[in-house]
Structure 1
Amino acid sequence: MNELLASVFTGLIIDENDQAYYVQKNGMTFRLLKSEGEHQLGEAVEGFGYQNQSQDNCFTTIIPKSRPGHFAFAEVKDVRRDLGVFVDIGLPDKDIAVSLDELPTMRELWPKKGDHLMVQLTVDSKDRIWASLAEEKIFRALSKKGTPELKNKDISGTVFRLKLMGTYILTDDFYIGFIHPSERFNEPRLGETVNGRVIGIRPDGVLNLSLKPRAHEAIGDDAKMLLAYLERTAEHSMPYTDKSDPEAIKQLFGISKGQFKRAIGHLLKARLIEQKDGHTYLLKTNHDESLSKSEK
């Protein structure tokens, strides 16, 4: 096994061409792109050794945070059902595979593109570099204990463990959160970013979380109907507001003026819509974010 792969070492620049320098260490030669900076022949440089997609020995002075014995979050870039998922650890021309053997048995709980996994690197006997998922003890070591002041606070984090008893996340503020199945609508997938609120603090400092909206935040059926109507219109707008004629509202939507006003009020408070010049407009970005949060 090439012990220089996936490791940080200092090598000597022995040659160059128009695109790259060539760095040597222990009789092995690695290619360093000149786009990373200028160097001189005979100069000693520190960097990270790996093999790119073409199995060429490469060297980068931009050292990844994820390395053997060093864990960091990496973004999922691709999903291969026959192999696993590929994550970006910062290498210029290579994403690293997380084996399907480390992923959930249920494929619908696999990470998707854009999710994040906490990984370190390993090298097998065939000199292949793999990303390996962090065990729970790593998250415990990284986390801090929750305090009562966090009760009812909104919180977000990344799912790192799926169990029958519930879901564990590492929050953006480095607390461990636990989501019981009764406090979610659907089971989050591994690596997914979720948004919730703190409903309790366990004696060990783990936060009990809920992904369900507060009662006053839940978007009702009437509000969902109005959102669906706005989604279908060409300009995501309608010539109706909370000041519109009750009969016109009843004829189009089949609900009373009072129901319409309550639904509009919910959507305004959630910043999903805006009203101006006698029209109601869908705020597209906020709709995508807030509705997905409400319906999880």
Structure 2
Amino acid sequence: MTIQLGKMNSLVVNEIAYEGAYLTDDSGNGEVFLKKEEMPNGLSVKQEIEVFVFEEQGNLTATTKTPIAQLGDFALLQVTSINAIGAFVDMGIGKELLVPYNEQRPKFELSRSYLVHLYLDKASQRLCGSSNLNKFVKQEATGFKKSQEVSIIVAGRTDLGFKVIVNNEYWGMVFTDQVFKPLFIGQKLQAYVAKLREDGKLDIRLSKPGVAGSNELSDVIYDKLTQENGVIHLGDKSDPIAIKKAFGCSKANFKRAIGHLFKEGKIDLAATKITLVK
């Protein structure tokens, strides 16, 4: 295994000196420096250690800190400084990441946070960041099935809903009528494919579809009932906004869930109230 810049690596201690430790991969190729202040107590030669590898002044350097994001990831990162070559964002390791001006969409402002993709610049072989996400996210998806579970990152808000990055690779859309809880840029969630369109676009939903989703919501409602002395002042005639505020779901999904609980004999139903059967 070769040493991977911008990634967590399992490396072996080759030498310990006054200034720090020198690490290599399992084949003995390449060398990475770990500063003395980063060395864990009792570190010894030939010991394996997990580190993040980055470049500092042209040299490969290691840290035992875990970064917010690694090469190939998308993450919400805060701008800490701006100079003549670009903006620098906090990676959570004490080493900032450069986002060149030509990779900023929009132009970065100090102290604000932006969704950034970490990539390896081919010319300089330097780990960099970009908010020009269309360079790294594919417009047309293939191989997805309806109701398939996927991972998403919230990338932006539009008039239709929220643009999301699906499985770290494809664009998707969560339409406004499918949003039943607060979403924010950079948020990572598990979601489900609602539809794969003929043009390759992905429609995404946050809730689990069908019976499985209703059963999951039923469990949430039942747990809430046990916490609220067996009574919740919501029913199938309640205001959809009140239902959304309480359970982050649509009124239709709420009605299916409480209907499931009623059929199981766990609750009694009224127009604007459900009661736990004891």
Higher Rg? 1
Higher helix fraction: Structure 1 or Structure 2?
Answer: 1
Normalising by the residue count of structure 1, what TM-score does the alignment of the two structures yield? 0.44
Normalising by the residue count of structure 2, what TM-score does the alignment of the two structures yield? 0.46
